[in-house]
Protein backbone atom coordinates (compact mmCIF):
# COMPACT_ATOMS: atom_id res chain seq x y z
CA UNK A 1 0.00 0.00 0.00
CA UNK A 2 2.86 2.38 0.84
CA UNK A 3 4.35 1.90 -2.62
CA UNK A 4 1.18 3.04 -4.37
CA UNK A 5 0.87 6.48 -2.77
CA UNK A 6 2.82 8.46 -5.40
CA UNK A 7 -0.34 10.08 -6.78
CA UNK A 8 -1.49 10.93 -3.28
CA UNK A 9 1.81 12.65 -2.49
CA UNK A 10 1.78 14.62 -5.76
CA UNK A 11 -1.79 15.76 -5.23
CA UNK A 12 -1.22 16.65 -1.58
CA UNK A 13 2.02 18.60 -2.19
CA UNK A 14 0.60 20.45 -5.21
CA UNK A 15 -2.70 21.40 -3.56
CA UNK A 16 -0.99 22.33 -0.29
CA UNK A 17 1.37 24.71 -2.10
CA UNK A 18 -1.05 26.38 -4.53
CA UNK A 19 -3.64 26.99 -1.81
CA UNK A 20 -1.22 28.97 0.35
CA UNK A 21 -1.63 32.74 0.25
CA UNK A 22 2.12 33.39 0.32
CA UNK A 23 2.59 31.22 -2.79
CA UNK A 24 0.29 33.44 -4.83
CA UNK A 25 1.72 36.60 -3.29
CA UNK A 26 5.21 35.54 -4.40
CA UNK A 27 4.02 34.21 -7.76
CA UNK A 28 1.91 37.25 -8.67
CA UNK A 29 4.49 39.77 -7.46
CA UNK A 30 6.59 39.58 -10.65
CA UNK A 31 3.62 39.73 -13.10
CA UNK A 32 2.10 42.67 -11.21
CA UNK A 33 5.44 44.53 -11.29
CA UNK A 34 5.76 43.78 -15.02
CA UNK A 35 2.23 45.04 -15.69
CA UNK A 36 2.98 48.24 -13.79
CA UNK A 37 6.23 48.72 -15.72
CA UNK A 38 4.52 48.01 -19.05
CA UNK A 39 1.79 50.49 -18.16
CA UNK A 40 4.35 53.18 -17.34
CA UNK A 41 6.22 52.47 -20.58
CA UNK A 42 2.93 52.61 -22.52
CA UNK A 43 1.99 55.97 -21.00
CA UNK A 44 5.52 57.35 -21.45
CA UNK A 45 5.70 56.27 -25.10
CA UNK A 46 2.31 57.82 -25.86
CA UNK A 47 3.31 61.02 -24.10
CA UNK A 48 6.65 61.16 -25.92
CA UNK A 49 5.03 60.48 -29.30
CA UNK A 50 2.47 63.19 -28.75
CA UNK A 51 5.15 65.60 -27.54
CA UNK A 52 7.38 64.94 -30.57
CA UNK A 53 4.45 65.34 -32.95
CA UNK A 54 3.39 68.55 -31.24
CA UNK A 55 6.92 69.94 -31.43
CA UNK A 56 7.32 69.14 -35.12
CA UNK A 57 3.93 70.67 -35.89
CA UNK A 58 4.39 73.65 -33.59
CA UNK A 59 3.44 77.06 -35.06
CA UNK A 60 5.39 80.14 -34.09
CA UNK A 61 6.92 83.10 -35.88
CA UNK A 62 10.51 82.62 -37.02
CA UNK A 63 13.13 83.79 -39.45
CA UNK A 64 16.08 81.97 -40.96
CA UNK A 65 19.29 82.27 -42.92
CA UNK A 66 20.64 79.46 -45.10
CA UNK A 67 24.33 79.20 -45.99
CA UNK A 68 23.89 75.66 -47.35
CA UNK A 69 21.39 76.40 -50.07
CA UNK A 70 19.45 73.27 -49.14
CA UNK A 71 16.43 74.88 -47.47
CA UNK A 72 13.52 75.48 -49.88
CA UNK A 73 11.59 78.75 -49.45
CA UNK A 74 8.32 76.88 -50.15
CA UNK A 75 8.93 74.61 -47.14
CA UNK A 76 9.66 77.62 -44.93
CA UNK A 77 6.55 79.44 -46.19
CA UNK A 78 4.41 76.41 -45.35
CA UNK A 79 5.82 76.48 -41.81
CA UNK A 80 5.11 80.22 -41.49
CA UNK A 81 8.70 81.52 -41.56
CA UNK A 82 10.52 84.26 -43.45
CA UNK A 83 14.08 84.92 -44.60
CA UNK A 84 16.11 87.17 -42.30
CA UNK A 85 18.46 89.87 -43.68
CA UNK A 86 21.37 88.48 -41.67
CA UNK A 87 22.25 86.36 -38.68
CA UNK A 88 22.75 89.41 -36.52
CA UNK A 89 19.36 90.81 -37.50
CA UNK A 90 17.62 87.52 -36.75
CA UNK A 91 19.21 87.21 -33.29
CA UNK A 92 18.37 90.84 -32.54
CA UNK A 93 14.74 90.27 -33.51
CA UNK A 94 14.50 87.37 -31.08
CA UNK A 95 16.02 89.44 -28.29
CA UNK A 96 13.60 92.29 -29.03
CA UNK A 97 10.66 89.90 -28.94
CA UNK A 98 9.42 90.70 -32.47
CA UNK A 99 9.76 87.03 -33.51
CA UNK A 100 9.72 83.80 -31.53
CA UNK A 101 12.74 82.07 -33.09
CA UNK A 102 15.59 82.35 -35.56
CA UNK A 103 17.40 79.48 -37.35
CA UNK A 104 20.87 79.85 -38.87
CA UNK A 105 21.58 76.93 -41.22
CA UNK A 106 25.35 76.34 -41.71
CA UNK A 107 27.14 75.76 -45.01
CA UNK A 108 27.53 72.03 -44.28
CA UNK A 109 24.54 70.84 -42.19
CA UNK A 110 25.80 67.25 -42.23
CA UNK A 111 28.85 68.15 -40.16
CA UNK A 112 28.02 71.55 -38.65
CA UNK A 113 25.38 72.43 -36.08
CA UNK A 114 22.22 74.39 -36.84
CA UNK A 115 22.17 77.48 -34.64
CA UNK A 116 18.75 77.94 -33.03
CA UNK A 117 17.74 81.08 -31.10
CA UNK A 118 14.35 81.46 -29.44
CA UNK A 119 12.29 83.04 -26.71
CA UNK A 120 12.40 81.00 -23.51
CA UNK A 121 9.11 79.10 -23.14
CA UNK A 122 10.27 76.54 -20.57
CA UNK A 123 12.96 73.89 -20.37
CA UNK A 124 10.78 71.17 -21.88
CA UNK A 125 9.01 73.32 -24.49
CA UNK A 126 12.18 74.95 -25.82
CA UNK A 127 12.89 71.72 -27.71
CA UNK A 128 10.19 72.51 -30.27
CA UNK A 129 12.47 75.10 -31.89
CA UNK A 130 15.13 72.52 -32.76
CA UNK A 131 12.47 70.03 -33.91
CA UNK A 132 11.01 72.49 -36.39
CA UNK A 133 14.44 73.58 -37.61
CA UNK A 134 15.46 69.99 -38.30
CA UNK A 135 12.12 69.13 -39.87
CA UNK A 136 12.45 72.04 -42.35
CA UNK A 137 15.92 70.92 -43.41
CA UNK A 138 14.93 67.25 -43.75
CA UNK A 139 11.80 68.08 -45.76
CA UNK A 140 13.77 70.37 -48.07
CA UNK A 141 16.44 67.71 -48.66
CA UNK A 142 13.79 65.09 -49.42
CA UNK A 143 12.03 67.34 -51.93
CA UNK A 144 15.31 68.16 -53.66
CA UNK A 145 15.97 64.46 -54.20
CA UNK A 146 12.62 64.31 -55.95
CA UNK A 147 12.14 60.57 -55.43
CA UNK A 148 10.57 58.70 -52.50
CA UNK A 149 12.96 55.82 -53.16
CA UNK A 150 16.06 58.03 -53.00
CA UNK A 151 14.68 59.74 -49.90
CA UNK A 152 14.22 56.39 -48.17
CA UNK A 153 17.73 55.28 -49.15
CA UNK A 154 19.27 58.55 -47.96
CA UNK A 155 17.46 58.17 -44.64
CA UNK A 156 19.00 54.72 -44.19
CA UNK A 157 15.68 52.85 -44.38
CA UNK A 158 17.26 49.72 -45.88
CA UNK A 159 16.58 46.04 -45.28
CA UNK A 160 18.58 42.97 -46.18
CA UNK A 161 17.87 39.27 -46.44
CA UNK A 162 20.90 37.12 -45.61
CA UNK A 163 20.99 33.43 -46.50
CA UNK A 164 23.83 31.22 -45.23
CA UNK A 165 24.61 27.58 -46.00
CA UNK A 166 25.94 24.75 -43.87
CA UNK A 167 26.94 21.50 -45.59
CA UNK A 168 25.13 22.56 -48.71
CA UNK A 169 21.82 23.32 -47.01
CA UNK A 170 20.36 26.60 -45.79
CA UNK A 171 21.25 27.24 -42.14
CA UNK A 172 18.82 28.88 -39.76
CA UNK A 173 21.06 31.70 -38.51
CA UNK A 174 19.53 33.48 -35.53
CA UNK A 175 16.15 32.02 -36.47
CA UNK A 176 17.69 28.62 -35.74
CA UNK A 177 19.35 29.73 -32.50
CA UNK A 178 16.23 31.09 -30.83
CA UNK A 179 14.15 27.85 -30.49
CA UNK A 180 16.91 25.83 -28.69
CA UNK A 181 17.60 28.80 -26.39
CA UNK A 182 14.08 28.39 -25.02
CA UNK A 183 15.31 25.29 -23.17
CA UNK A 184 17.96 27.39 -21.41
CA UNK A 185 15.34 29.98 -20.40
CA UNK A 186 13.10 27.23 -19.04
CA UNK A 187 16.00 25.69 -17.08
CA UNK A 188 16.85 28.99 -15.41
CA UNK A 189 13.19 29.76 -14.69
CA UNK A 190 12.55 26.36 -13.09
CA UNK A 191 15.72 26.31 -10.97
CA UNK A 192 15.46 29.92 -9.80
CA UNK A 193 11.74 29.74 -9.09
CA UNK A 194 11.72 26.34 -7.43
CA UNK A 195 15.23 26.08 -5.95
CA UNK A 196 14.16 27.14 -2.48
CA UNK A 197 11.10 24.87 -2.57
CA UNK A 198 13.29 21.96 -3.72
CA UNK A 199 15.55 22.56 -0.74
CA UNK A 200 12.71 22.76 1.76
CA UNK A 201 10.76 19.84 0.26
CA UNK A 202 12.15 17.47 2.90
CA UNK A 203 13.25 20.00 5.50
CA UNK A 204 9.68 21.10 6.22
CA UNK A 205 8.65 17.70 7.55
CA UNK A 206 11.88 17.40 9.57
CA UNK A 207 11.43 20.81 11.15
CA UNK A 208 7.79 20.01 11.93
CA UNK A 209 8.83 16.68 13.52
CA UNK A 210 6.28 14.63 11.57
CA UNK A 211 8.50 12.44 9.39
CA UNK A 212 8.15 9.40 11.66
CA UNK A 213 4.38 9.45 11.13
CA UNK A 214 4.69 9.98 7.38
CA UNK A 215 7.09 7.08 6.86
CA UNK A 216 4.71 4.65 8.59
CA UNK A 217 2.29 4.99 5.65
CA UNK A 218 4.38 6.12 2.66
CA UNK A 219 7.44 4.56 1.08
CA UNK A 220 10.38 7.05 1.10
CA UNK A 221 10.92 6.59 -2.65
CA UNK A 222 7.28 7.40 -3.40
CA UNK A 223 7.46 10.40 -1.09
CA UNK A 224 10.59 11.88 -2.71
CA UNK A 225 9.39 11.24 -6.28
CA UNK A 226 5.98 12.68 -5.41
CA UNK A 227 7.56 15.85 -4.11
CA UNK A 228 9.70 16.22 -7.26
CA UNK A 229 6.74 15.69 -9.61
CA UNK A 230 4.63 18.16 -7.64
CA UNK A 231 7.46 20.72 -7.84
CA UNK A 232 7.47 20.34 -11.62
CA UNK A 233 3.72 21.02 -11.78
CA UNK A 234 4.10 24.01 -9.47
CA UNK A 235 6.88 25.35 -11.71
CA UNK A 236 4.61 25.05 -14.75
CA UNK A 237 1.92 27.07 -12.96
CA UNK A 238 4.42 29.78 -12.03
CA UNK A 239 5.87 29.99 -15.55
CA UNK A 240 2.39 30.33 -17.07
CA UNK A 241 1.57 33.12 -14.63
CA UNK A 242 4.89 34.88 -15.34
CA UNK A 243 4.42 34.55 -19.11
CA UNK A 244 0.92 36.08 -19.04
CA UNK A 245 2.03 39.78 -19.00
CA UNK A 246 4.43 39.18 -21.91
CA UNK A 247 1.75 37.44 -23.97
CA UNK A 248 -0.84 40.15 -23.29
CA UNK A 249 1.70 42.89 -24.02
CA UNK A 250 2.76 41.28 -27.31
CA UNK A 251 -0.76 40.53 -28.53
CA UNK A 252 -2.52 43.78 -27.58
CA UNK A 253 0.15 46.47 -26.99
CA UNK A 254 3.10 45.42 -29.16
CA UNK A 255 3.29 48.75 -31.05
CA UNK A 256 2.80 50.95 -28.00
CA UNK A 257 5.48 49.07 -26.02
CA UNK A 258 7.92 48.98 -28.96
CA UNK A 259 8.10 45.18 -28.83
CA UNK A 260 9.73 43.80 -32.01
CA UNK A 261 7.55 41.66 -34.22
CA UNK A 262 8.41 37.97 -33.92
CA UNK A 263 7.86 36.06 -37.14
CA UNK A 264 7.28 32.52 -35.91
CA UNK A 265 7.12 31.24 -39.48
CA UNK A 266 10.77 32.24 -39.99
CA UNK A 267 12.04 30.22 -37.00
CA UNK A 268 13.97 27.07 -37.79
CA UNK A 269 13.34 24.01 -35.63
CA UNK A 270 16.16 21.50 -36.04
CA UNK A 271 14.95 18.10 -34.81
CA UNK A 272 18.35 17.08 -33.40
CA UNK A 273 18.79 20.35 -31.52
CA UNK A 274 15.28 20.18 -30.08
CA UNK A 275 15.64 16.56 -28.93
CA UNK A 276 19.08 17.19 -27.43
CA UNK A 277 17.82 20.35 -25.71
CA UNK A 278 14.86 18.49 -24.21
CA UNK A 279 17.02 15.65 -22.84
CA UNK A 280 19.62 18.04 -21.38
CA UNK A 281 16.89 20.16 -19.79
CA UNK A 282 15.18 17.17 -18.14
CA UNK A 283 18.50 15.66 -17.04
CA UNK A 284 19.71 18.96 -15.58
CA UNK A 285 16.41 19.52 -13.80
CA UNK A 286 16.48 16.02 -12.30
CA UNK A 287 20.11 16.43 -11.19
CA UNK A 288 19.60 19.79 -9.47
CA UNK A 289 16.29 18.72 -7.95
CA UNK A 290 17.75 15.50 -6.58
CA UNK A 291 20.77 17.35 -5.23
CA UNK A 292 18.67 19.95 -3.43
CA UNK A 293 16.28 17.35 -2.06
CA UNK A 294 19.25 15.29 -0.82
CA UNK A 295 20.74 18.42 0.73
CA UNK A 296 17.47 19.08 2.53
CA UNK A 297 17.33 15.49 3.77
CA UNK A 298 20.89 15.68 5.14
CA UNK A 299 20.63 19.05 6.88
CA UNK A 300 18.66 19.74 10.06
CA UNK A 301 17.55 23.27 9.09
CA UNK A 302 17.35 25.58 6.08
CA UNK A 303 20.02 27.80 7.66
CA UNK A 304 22.50 24.92 7.67
CA UNK A 305 21.76 24.12 4.02
CA UNK A 306 22.03 27.76 2.88
CA UNK A 307 25.78 27.92 2.02
CA UNK A 308 25.71 24.78 -0.13
CA UNK A 309 22.49 25.95 -1.79
CA UNK A 310 24.14 29.27 -2.63
CA UNK A 311 27.14 27.49 -4.17
CA UNK A 312 24.87 25.39 -6.39
CA UNK A 313 23.04 28.49 -7.60
CA UNK A 314 26.37 30.14 -8.44
CA UNK A 315 27.37 27.16 -10.59
CA UNK A 316 24.54 27.75 -13.06
CA UNK A 317 25.75 31.31 -13.69
CA UNK A 318 29.51 30.62 -13.91
CA UNK A 319 29.38 29.57 -17.62
CA UNK A 320 28.12 33.04 -18.57
CA UNK A 321 31.52 34.46 -17.62
CA UNK A 322 32.93 32.53 -20.58
CA UNK A 323 30.00 32.96 -22.96
CA UNK A 324 32.20 34.55 -25.63
CA UNK A 325 34.43 31.45 -25.63
CA UNK A 326 31.42 29.13 -25.56
CA UNK A 327 30.11 30.76 -28.74
CA UNK A 328 33.36 31.50 -30.61
CA UNK A 329 35.79 28.80 -29.39
CA UNK A 330 33.91 25.76 -28.04
CA UNK A 331 37.09 23.66 -28.12
CA UNK A 332 38.75 25.81 -25.43
CA UNK A 333 39.75 23.85 -22.32
CA UNK A 334 37.56 25.87 -19.94
CA UNK A 335 34.54 25.37 -22.21
CA UNK A 336 35.14 21.63 -22.32
CA UNK A 337 35.43 21.50 -18.51
CA UNK A 338 32.17 23.40 -18.10
CA UNK A 339 30.53 21.15 -20.70
CA UNK A 340 31.29 17.94 -18.85
CA UNK A 341 31.24 19.07 -15.21
CA UNK A 342 27.74 17.92 -14.12
CA UNK A 343 26.56 21.09 -12.38
CA UNK A 344 27.69 23.49 -15.11
CA UNK A 345 26.95 21.11 -18.00
CA UNK A 346 23.24 21.96 -18.43
CA UNK A 347 23.83 25.68 -19.06
CA UNK A 348 27.00 25.24 -21.14
CA UNK A 349 25.61 22.38 -23.21
CA UNK A 350 22.31 24.19 -23.86
CA UNK A 351 24.21 27.28 -25.06
CA UNK A 352 26.44 25.22 -27.34
CA UNK A 353 23.47 23.27 -28.61
CA UNK A 354 21.63 26.48 -29.52
CA UNK A 355 24.63 27.92 -31.41
CA UNK A 356 25.35 24.64 -33.19
CA UNK A 357 28.76 23.96 -31.58
CA UNK A 358 27.82 20.82 -29.65
CA UNK A 359 28.72 17.65 -31.60
CA UNK A 360 26.27 14.79 -31.31
CA UNK A 361 28.82 12.50 -29.64
CA UNK A 362 29.48 15.07 -26.92
CA UNK A 363 25.75 15.65 -26.50
CA UNK A 364 25.21 11.90 -25.96
CA UNK A 365 27.96 11.76 -23.32
CA UNK A 366 26.60 14.82 -21.47
CA UNK A 367 23.01 13.54 -21.55
CA UNK A 368 24.07 10.11 -20.28
CA UNK A 369 26.17 11.74 -17.57
CA UNK A 370 23.31 13.95 -16.39
CA UNK A 371 20.70 11.18 -16.36
CA UNK A 372 22.91 8.57 -14.68
CA UNK A 373 24.14 11.01 -12.05
CA UNK A 374 20.58 12.26 -11.49
CA UNK A 375 19.41 8.70 -10.84
CA UNK A 376 22.26 8.13 -8.38
CA UNK A 377 21.60 11.42 -6.58
CA UNK A 378 17.87 10.68 -6.35
CA UNK A 379 18.68 7.26 -4.89
CA UNK A 380 21.02 8.94 -2.41
CA UNK A 381 18.30 11.47 -1.55
CA UNK A 382 15.89 8.64 -0.72
CA UNK A 383 18.49 6.97 1.52
CA UNK A 384 19.35 10.23 3.23
CA UNK A 385 15.70 10.92 3.92
CA UNK A 386 15.11 7.38 5.16
CA UNK A 387 18.04 7.35 7.56
CA UNK A 388 18.09 11.02 8.44
CA UNK A 389 14.39 11.77 8.66
CA UNK A 390 14.36 11.82 12.45
CA UNK A 391 17.70 13.57 12.90
CA UNK A 392 16.53 17.00 13.98
CA UNK A 393 19.72 18.51 15.37
CA UNK A 394 22.73 17.26 13.38
CA UNK A 395 23.88 16.88 9.79
CA UNK A 396 23.70 13.41 8.28
CA UNK A 397 26.96 11.83 7.17
CA UNK A 398 26.83 10.24 3.71
CA UNK A 399 29.39 7.67 4.88
CA UNK A 400 27.10 6.75 7.76
CA UNK A 401 24.17 6.29 5.38
CA UNK A 402 26.17 4.13 2.97
CA UNK A 403 27.47 1.98 5.82
CA UNK A 404 23.92 1.52 7.08
CA UNK A 405 22.84 0.50 3.58
CA UNK A 406 25.46 -2.30 3.51
CA UNK A 407 24.38 -3.81 6.82
CA UNK A 408 22.02 -6.78 6.87
CA UNK A 409 18.42 -5.71 7.20
CA UNK A 410 18.08 -7.09 10.73
CA UNK A 411 21.08 -5.16 11.95
CA UNK A 412 20.06 -1.78 10.54
CA UNK A 413 19.10 0.75 13.12
CA UNK A 414 17.76 4.22 12.77
CA UNK A 415 20.01 6.96 14.15
CA UNK A 416 19.25 8.01 17.70
CA UNK A 417 16.61 10.69 18.04
CA UNK A 418 17.88 13.98 19.39
CA UNK A 419 15.54 15.22 22.09
CA UNK A 420 15.03 18.73 23.25
Average pLDDT, the chain: 75
- Residue 64: pLDDT band with limits 50, 70, 90: very high
Bridge partners of 83? 64
Closest CA to 368 of 272, 250, 286: 286
pLDDT of residue 28: 76
Q: Which residues contact 203 (CB under 8 A, 6 or more apart)?
A: 296, 299, 301, 302, 305
pLDDT of residue 18: 78
pLDDT surpasses 70 at 305: no
Q: Could you give the CA distance from residue 85 to residue 415 in angstroms, rounded to a whole number?
A: 101
Q: What pLDDT digit, counting tens, does each position of 374-415 carry? A: 889 888 877 777 665 555 455 555 565 555 555 544 444 444
Bridge partners of 63? 82, 102
Q: What pLDDT digit, counting tens, does each position of 340-366 carry? A: 999 889 999 999 998 888 999 999 999
Q: What pLDDT digit, counting tens, does each position of 138-172 carry? A: 888 888 777 666 666 666 666 666 556 566 665 55
Q: Could you give the CA distance from residue 385 to residue 395 in angstroms, rounded to a whole number?
A: 12
pLDDT surpasses 60 at 187: yes
| 187 within 8 A of 347, measured Cβ to Cβ | yes
Name which residue leads in pLDDT, 301 or 234. 234
- Residue 65: pLDDT band with limits 50, 70, 90: very high
Amino acid sequence: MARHNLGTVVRFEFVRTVTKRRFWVATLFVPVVLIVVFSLVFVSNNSRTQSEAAQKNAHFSFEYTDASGVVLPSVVDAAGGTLAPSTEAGVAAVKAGTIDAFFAYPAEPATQKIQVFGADIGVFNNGEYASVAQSILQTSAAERLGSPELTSIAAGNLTTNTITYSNGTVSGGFNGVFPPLIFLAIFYAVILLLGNQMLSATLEEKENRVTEMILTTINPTSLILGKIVSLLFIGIVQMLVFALPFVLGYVFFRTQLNIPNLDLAALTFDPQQMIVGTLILLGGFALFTGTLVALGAAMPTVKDAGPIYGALMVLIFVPFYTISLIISDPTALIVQIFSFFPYSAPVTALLRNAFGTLPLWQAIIIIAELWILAALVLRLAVRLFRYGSIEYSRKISIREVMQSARRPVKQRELPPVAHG
